[in-house]
Structure 1
Amino acid sequence: MDTPTQFFRSILLALAGNRAVEALALKYGLKLGASQFVAGESLEEALEQVRLLNAKGILTTLDHLGEGIRQLSEAAVYKDEYIKLLHHIRATGAYANVSLKPTQLGLALDPEAAYTHIREIVTHAKSFGNFVRMDMENSPYTDATIQIMKRLHTEGLSNVGTVIQAYLYRSEEDIHLLTEEGFNLRLVKGAYKEAKSIAYPKLSEVDENFKRIIAHRLRSTIYTGVATHDEKIIEWVKSFVKQERISRSTYEFQMLYGIRMPLQERLAREGYTVRCYVPYGRMWYPYFVRRLAERPANMWFLVKNMIKR
């Protein structure tokens, strides 16, 4: 039986795909509190936040929000935006790489066209000495995303990695195979609604699997992003790397813009590499709903802003 928190999360994630709710949210959401988690609608606004974060010793990854496009022509627009973003990162000297979602580049509509778009972005990034992270979306796209990464590497584009989600049963095996091949990975708990047949239903089980895959990656010394706001997991990582004598140069902590910012700053002051995921753009609604679903406290933050107004 679902707990109240799990039920609340399921309701919110169901709303993530509701077009009518999305239209209403896009009209008022940033004014009511979504700006807590989204750096702005424009690239210029996002780069200003990157500048402020960099000044505190925090690295960033920029994500131009958008997913689940309906027409392939939209993918070409997003591709151009990412190339523009890479040019601006280079021009401003920002300490930033980029993150993108494969469905944003057309994966659900035309996988080969999506690959061509992603390849062009990764090629530009390589010419600038930059890195591209392909975000992992819900389970129908897990295999395809991993295969895109592998294919790009075979073409000499090794400046690209992806994400593994600890709540999927398959992830421990994926970690072993992808680590053997030397891929740069970000590890997360997972933020999509998945069936119990393919994903751990209990948060305690997700946490244990998260620790298992983190331990395997850190022992491998292949560069890894440990993406979590869970301070218990962070303290466990700090203890684990000390015990195993693992260099801080082989991993980084990653967190989201607007969440646990004092913790991000403290870790950076302690000498850990910290990277903040900075999302921006007009199509922020699905991303925002997942942030609300992750922690009920995020929803109460939004409600309080609505009451104030």
Structure 2
Amino acid sequence: MSILKEPILKLSKSARMKNFVSHNRIGRSAARRFVAGETLEDALKAARDMNKLGIHVSLDYLGENVFSEAESVASTEQYLNLLGMIAREKLDANISVKLTALGLDVDRRLCLNNITAVLTRARDLGGIFVRIDMESSEYTERTIDIFKELWQSGFRNTGTVLQSYMYRTEDDVHTMIELKARVRLCKGAYLEPPTVAYAEKSDTDSNYVKCMQQLLDNGNYPGFATHDEKIINQILDYVKAQNIPAEKFEFQMLYGIRRDLQKKLAGLGYNVRAYVPYGSQWYPYLMRRMAERPANLFFMLNNAWRG
């Protein structure tokens, strides 16, 4: 089914397909499996439900690649409100932010000001953690540069994401270990050229395991974002062999995917965090989930057929 990945990712950029899916009952219904909803209250309810299962949460307001200052300010306000509600409800949750949602495509200084405002509010509310998410390779260098600038400015309530399908990731892992910064390690969900990323899944997986071991040995509370049971078992085998306590790392999974595995790992005493997205701009996110695991697409079509 890997042959479906490229066409699905191309469709994620199609305005016509976005309009069709966004206004289609089946498309909107499928999105609700992977997206908490379109409102802040939807997100908070999902977080409460996951917390009741003993699962930590990372909340993300969808809406990347804004192209105006007004949109970036609106996204920033959404995150500031979200932080306030996390603190008010005492949720076991942090937030995940894409820099293009805060204006990186508009102006670097604007983006830096917006993320600084978010980090400052999070710090003032008791040190809520803010994950600076990674996007396509077009943004990798800029994202890491901004992260390092924030880190050097004294913000320690933040971390970033590295993708194992990128050639550069092992070097970036070393950089983050030296900084003592928290890393979420994932495989990567964007369509990348072979000049910057591995084309074969086996190479991506091999690099994931190599980086995972380095982060477990020397990193600061890494998060391992994967639903791949083979890799999860390799993590479990490695921490057992190296006598690494369960509180030194966490598993991270997407809302609506492998809920059984999330509950199983949490029940075994491991830290598990569910990434819970919400907002009206759910279409690109949904398509990336279809591309990562085309079985999700067949799940959607089967449910559509059954009504």
TM-score, normalised relative to structure 2: 0.97
Structure 2 residue aligned with 1:72, among 69, 75, 100? Answer: 69
Structure 1 residue aligned with 2:174, among 173, 176, 200? Answer: 176
What's the offset of the Cα at 1:164? 0.3
What's the offset of the Cα at 1:221? 4.3
* AA at the equivalent of 1:269: G
Say if 1:221 and 1:246, in contact at 8 Å, map to a contact too: no
Partner of 2:83: 86
C-alpha distance in 1 between matches for 2:147 and 2:195: 26
What's the offset of the Cα at 1:32? 3.3
Say if 1:268 and 1:274, in contact at 8 Å, map to a contact too: yes
Partner of 2:290: 292
Cα distance change on mapping 1:124 and 1:30 into 2, 3 Å: farther
Stretches of structure 1 that go unaligned for 5 or more consecutive residues are none
Partner of 1:130: 128
TM-score, normalised relative to structure 1: 0.96
Give SS of 2:141's match.
helix
Partner of 1:115: 112
Give SS of 1:41's match.
coil
Structure 1 residue aligned with 2:13, among 17, 26, 31? Answer: 17
Give SS of 1:163's match.
strand
- 1:17-62: CA deviations, max 9, x gaps? 1112112222225543111100001110111111111011000000
Say if 2:182 and 2:219, in contact at 8 Å, map to a contact too: no
2:37 maps to 1:51? no
State the number of aligned residues: 305
Structure 2 residue aligned with 1:240, among 234, 238, 241? Answer: 238
What's the offset of the Cα at 1:296? 1.4
Structure 2 residue aligned with 1:195, among 193, 196, 201? Answer: 193
What's the offset of the Cα at 1:147? 1.1
C-alpha distance in 2 between matches for 1:297 and 1:160: 33
- 1:115-172: CA deviations, max 9, x gaps? 1101100110111120100110000100111111111111111111110000001101
2:25 maps to 1:39? no
Partner of 2:212: 214
What's the offset of the Cα at 1:70? 2.4
* AA at the equivalent of 2:167: Y
C-alpha distance in 1 between matches for 2:12 and 2:97: 18
2:3 maps to 1:7? yes
What's the offset of the Cα at 1:308? 2.5
2:56 maps to 1:62? no
- 1:50-99: CA deviations, max 9, x gaps? 11110110000000001111222100000000000000001111100000
C-alpha distance in 2 between matches for 1:275 and 1:31: 25
The share of aligned pairs that are identical, in percent, is 42
Say if 2:185 and 2:222, in contact at 8 Å, map to a contact too: yes
Say if 1:32 and 1:305, in contact at 8 Å, map to a contact too: no
C-alpha distance in 1 between matches for 2:220 and 2:78: 30
- 1:171-219: CA deviations, max 9, x gaps? 0111112211111110001000000111111101100000000000000
Stretches of structure 2 that go unaligned for 5 or more consecutive residues are none
Say if 1:292 and 1:299, in contact at 8 Å, map to a contact too: yes
